[in-house]
Structure 1
Amino acid sequence: MGLFGILLALAFLIALAFRGWSVLVLAPIAAIIAAAFSGEPLLAHWTQTFMVSAAGFVAQFFPIFLLGAIFGKLMEDSGSVTSIADFMTHKLGPSRAILAVVLAGALVTYGGVSLFVAFFVLAPMAHALFQSAAIPRRLMPATIALGTSTFTMSAMPGTPAIQNAIPMPFFGTTPFAAPGLGIIASAIMLGFGLWWLHRSEAKARRAGEGYDGTTRSNAEVAAQDEIIRERATTSQAFDPAEISHGKVSVTKPSIVFAALPLVVVIVVNLIMSMFVLPNLDVSYLSEERFGSTTLAAVGGVWAVVVALAAAIITLVAVNYRHLPTLRATIDAGANASVLPALSVASLVGFGVVVAAMPAFNMVREWVLGIEGGPLVSLAVATNVLASLTGSASGGMTIALDALGDTYMRLAAEQGINPDLLHRVAVIGAGTLDSLPHNGAVVTMLAVCGSTHKEAYLDIVMVAIVGAVLALVAVIGIGSVVGSF
């Protein structure tokens, strides 16, 4: 009955979340269902298991959600993201429309801009370029996905994406874990994705298929859609409802000032991770008032937080005159961070309750018994949970909360570098999370004015197949030569 209760709770959560119900309500109810079928105390699991674990996630990662959302909103309202998109358009032009959109998306998201903010700016750019180049509009969502939701989210070393931050406290790693393997994985995702998109473009031209539709972006409509909002906030770090708050500058900064904050994110993140934090005396962290923790558990988050804070200060300093309503922009960014953080935290709370059920031992034994060793079973665990929840961050945190200590023990026994575990977990969570119910997929389609029927096959190829190929390569290379 306990295992049936876990499956029933999961089905309840997935079914209603797909219909736009709030995860903040669904997750505790689903946790209570799982506990009830296991004969466990319901209120105790709600207040002492669910809420404590959800609060722990917020305590660890809310600073990244907060600063990331504020930074993204400042980048949008200052016109910086638009300036970067326009620069790519001018340099590459309609003849290389797909490459221009992919590179613009990759640059802004690797620099720390939230997905929905990137969608909001890239969609009009893609509409205009695709119309000029006579490329079918149905390829827009996959093109945007390749640049924003694949290698810059899970593979590029140092990416400030929340997905790259989640394994750090579990494995004692940094945002730059396994940089060589991350670059190889990025090259595979980017190369395969561009090959597929150009192949699709050529096939469409041979068939006489051109651009069909309007150049008007649907981003503002999508931002106000409540069903899209509920789905989006479990997969992104930005609440779409806040996109219309604040005021976008009528003038744009130069490309140098627009890109400078993105460079600051990357450089400061690297300096903090590799040089500053390792040389600090942080023995005070062992004191009870600081949670009796270690630098390995908090250093990665500290590096990302300092990098985002430095980028925000830089952005305001160099682009102040392009921020007509600075306070309103910062308020909108701060508000935009709350619902995503609490939504993912609720998924984490549900996962921890499920992991506390006696019947979960059968699930744990099945996962750890998968042939191929810890790397393969970790990849399967993060893949399955990310696909079921429709959230790379939520699925990965559930998997690591339940099995992170076990994987660290197995890694120590088998001589596996924790950096390799980190990269496999992040890339694994970023593969099957792009199933049709994923919030980022739903949002992208809505922003581009496309449907699953029109555009989803291409999303599958660039966001799932390409990521799976990269994951297989990382596991294969890492198993032979280790982390590098």
Structure 2
Amino acid sequence: MGLVGILLALALLMWLAYRGWSVLIVAPVAALVAAAISGEPLLASWTQTFMGGAARFVAQWFPMFLLGGLFGKLMDDSGSIRSIARFLTERLGTHRTLLAVVLASAVVTYGGVSVFVAFFVLVPMADEMFRAANIPRRLMPATIGLGAFTFTMSVMPGTPSVNNAIPMPYFGTTTFAAPGLGIIASIIIFILGMWWLARAEAAARKAGEGYVDTTRTAFVIDDKTREQAAMAGDFDPAEIDHGKRSASEPPFILALLPLVVVIVVNFLMALVVLPRMDFSFLAEEAWGGITIGAVAGVWSVILALAAAVLTVVIVNYRRLPALRETLDAGANSAAVPILMIASLVGFGAVVGTLPAFAAVRDAVLEIPGGPLVSIIVAMNVLAGLTGTASGGMAITLNALGDNFMALAAEHGINPELMHRLTTISAGTLDALPHNGTVLLLLQISRLTHRESYPDMVMTVIVNVIIALVVVTVLGSMFGSF
């Protein structure tokens, strides 16, 4: 009965979340259903186990969500994202529209800007370019998706995204884990994605299909999309119109500077500065009884985002007409997403304590192929079921992270390889039709799943799976590099 309860609870969580119910309500209800069927005490399961797991996630990740929200909103209101996108698209021109949109999407998101913030700049910009190049609008989501939430979110070493950060405390790694494998996977994803887009454009031109200016209602974020998007990302879309955008744009170099600061500071802190400092005091109980490896990656990203936030404000102070309102919106944007993911973690914490979960754990860890295959399967399944890479990772690692580390040590596997395979795996089936990022991008683009999703499958799922297979083979043969 306990296993039935776990499966029923997971099905309830998926169904109600897909129907638009808030995960803040659905997650504890589903957790209590599992606990009740297993005969566990309900109140204790809620207040001690569920809330304990959720609270630990918030305590660990809120600084990063907060700074990420501030950074994204400041980059938006200062006109920096528009400046970067405009520079790249003007330099590449309409005859290279697809490449221009992919690169513009990749640059701003790799530099730490939330995809949800970027969408509101990238979609109108892409729409103008697709009109000028006479390319069907239905290809816009696949093009933006390739640049914005594939290799820049979970594959490229150093990206400060939540997806790339969550494995760090479990594996003692940084965002630069397995850089060679990450770069190889990114190249594969980029090349295959561009090949598919070029093929789709050529087929459209051969069929006489071009840009069609659809007359549809203006974009409005509905409550269901907001809930699903917040669960899948790190920025509450409802805050995008709060604050006040600058009427002017900074020069390209000044707009790009904060993104460079994020990457450089993250690199220096993670690989140069923090490893050379004495943090022996962290072993004391007052500081959690941990090692620097457990927090170095998180601290590096926090310092990088803080430096970038300060850089945006200093460089664009006169272009931020309502700085306090912008900061308020950025801070508020972090609240709903982190509580959404924390609720999923709380659900996983309750399930992980149930007696029947031992059978699930053993089945996952004993999947033929060893620890690498086990972690790949677990991440794909949980990310696909929940529709969120970060949520799927958090649930899986919270329940099985110690087991995966033990298996890695037993088989002589570098934790950096585990980190990179975790992030790539979680970034595959998370982009199924119910994913909040997919839904928001389609809604902003004023397109439907029927029109655009088939091409998105190829650019944000299939090519990532191919890259995952290649990296798994290389990692199995040569280890982490």
Which bin holds the TM-score, normalised by the shorter protein?
over 0.9
Contact 1:124 1:215 in 2 (8 A): no
Q: Which residue of 2 aligns with 1:66?
A: 66
Aligned partner of 2:326: which letter? T
Deviation for aligned residue 1:437: 0.3
Contact 1:141 1:459 in 2 (8 A): yes
Structure 1 residues 215 and 165: alpha-carbon distance in aligned structure 2, compared to 1, 3 A threshold: farther
Indicate yes or no: 2:376 matched with 1:379: yes
Indicate yes or no: 2:262 matched with 1:265: yes
Deviation for aligned residue 1:287: 1.5
Aligned partner of residue 231 in structure 1, secondary structure: helix
Aligned partner of residue 381 in structure 1, secondary structure: helix
Q: Which residue of 2 aligns with 1:321?
A: 318
CA deviation map 1:3-32 (0-9, x unaligned) = 111111111111111111110010000000
Indicate yes or no: 2:339 matched with 1:338: no
CA deviation map 1:389-420 (0-9, x unaligned) = 01100001111111111111111111100000
Q: Distance in 2 between matches of 1:195 and 1:281?
A: 49
Aligned partner of 1:3: which letter? L
Contact 1:78 1:319 in 2 (8 A): yes
Q: Which residue of 2 aligns with 1:5?
A: 5
Q: Which residue of 2 aligns with 1:435?
A: 432
Contact 1:386 1:432 in 2 (8 A): yes
Aligned partner of 1:301: which letter? V
Deviation for aligned residue 1:216: 9.0
Q: Which residue of 2 aligns with 1:24?
A: 24
Deviation for aligned residue 1:214: 4.5
Indicate yes or no: 2:202 matched with 1:208: no
CA deviation map 1:198-243 (0-9, x unaligned) = 100101110000011259995xx34x31111000011110000000
Q: Which residue of 2 aligns with 1:134?
A: 134
Q: Distance in 1 between matches of 2:294 and 2:253?
A: 35
Q: Which residue of 1 aligns with 2:463?
A: 466
Q: Distance in 1 between matches of 2:151 and 2:406?
A: 28
Aligned partner of 2:94: which letter? P
Q: Distance in 2 between matches of 1:46 and 1:212?
A: 52
Q: Which residue of 2 aligns with 1:93?
A: 93
Indicate yes or no: 2:346 matched with 1:349: yes
Aligned partner of 1:318: which letter? V
Q: Distance in 2 between matches of 1:262 and 1:237?
A: 17
Q: Distance in 1 between matches of 2:54 and 2:420?
A: 24
Structure 1 residues 175 and 190: alpha-carbon distance in aligned structure 2, compared to 1, 3 A threshold: same
Q: TM-score, normalized by length of structure 2?
A: 0.99
Structure 1 unaligned blocks of 5 or more: none
Q: Which residue of 2 aligns with 1:159?
A: 159
Structure 2 unaligned blocks of 5 or more: none
Aligned partner of 2:88: which letter? M
Aligned partner of 1:322: which letter? R
Aligned partner of 1:226: which letter? D
Aligned partner of 1:295: which letter? I
Deviation for aligned residue 1:368: 1.3
What does 1:287-436 align with in structure 2 at a 5 Å threshold? 287-436=284-433
Q: Distance in 2 between matches of 1:471 and 1:420?
A: 12
Contact 1:51 1:349 in 2 (8 A): yes
Aligned partner of residue 295 in structure 2, secondary structure: helix
CA deviation map 1:368-405 (0-9, x unaligned) = 12111111110110110000001100001111111111
Q: Distance in 2 between matches of 1:213 and 1:441?
A: 22
Deviation for aligned residue 1:292: 1.3
Q: Which residue of 2 aligns with 1:193?
A: 193
Aligned partner of 2:135: which letter? I
Q: TM-score, normalized by length of structure 1?
A: 0.98
Deviation for aligned residue 1:365: 1.7
Q: Distance in 2 between matches of 1:89 and 1:444?
A: 20
CA deviation map 1:90-145 (0-9, x unaligned) = 10111111111110010000000001101000000110000111111110011111
Q: Which residue of 2 aligns with 1:180?
A: 180
Q: Distance in 1 between matches of 2:336 and 2:477?
A: 42
Q: Which residue of 1 aligns with 2:275?
A: 278
Deviation for aligned residue 1:74: 0.2
Superposition RMSD on alpha carbons, in Å?
A: 1.1
CA deviation map 1:281-333 (0-9, x unaligned) = 11111112211121111110000000000001111111111111111001000
Aligned partner of 2:202: which letter? A
Equivalent of 2:251, from 231, 254, 269? 254
Q: Which residue of 2 aligns with 1:244?
A: 241
Contact 1:20 1:230 in 2 (8 A): yes
Q: Which residue of 1 aligns with 2:111?
A: 111
Structure 1 residues 204 and 313: alpha-carbon distance in aligned structure 2, compared to 1, 3 A threshold: same
Contact 1:128 1:215 in 2 (8 A): no
Aligned partner of 2:399: which letter? A
Q: Distance in 2 between matches of 1:353 and 1:467?
A: 31
**Structure 1 segments (4+ residues) deviating >2 Å:** 213-218
Aligned partner of residue 234 in structure 1, secondary structure: helix
Aligned partner of 2:242: which letter? H
Count of residues paired in the alignment:
481
CA deviation map 1:244-274 (0-9, x unaligned) = 0001000100001000000000000000011
Aligned partner of 2:237: which letter? P
Q: Distance in 2 between matches of 1:294 and 1:346?
A: 27
Q: Distance in 2 between matches of 1:401 and 1:36?
A: 22
Contact 1:89 1:97 in 2 (8 A): yes
Deviates more, 1:288-297 or 1:380-389: 288-297
Contact 1:127 1:217 in 2 (8 A): no
CA deviation map 1:449-468 (0-9, x unaligned) = 11000111111111110110
Structure 1 residues 7 and 271: alpha-carbon distance in aligned structure 2, compared to 1, 3 A threshold: same
Aligned partner of residue 251 in structure 1, secondary structure: coil
What does 1:34-53 align with in structure 2 at a 5 Å threshold? 34-53=34-53
Q: Which residue of 1 aligns with 2:441?
A: 444
Structure 1 residues 216 and 62: alpha-carbon distance in aligned structure 2, compared to 1, 3 A threshold: farther
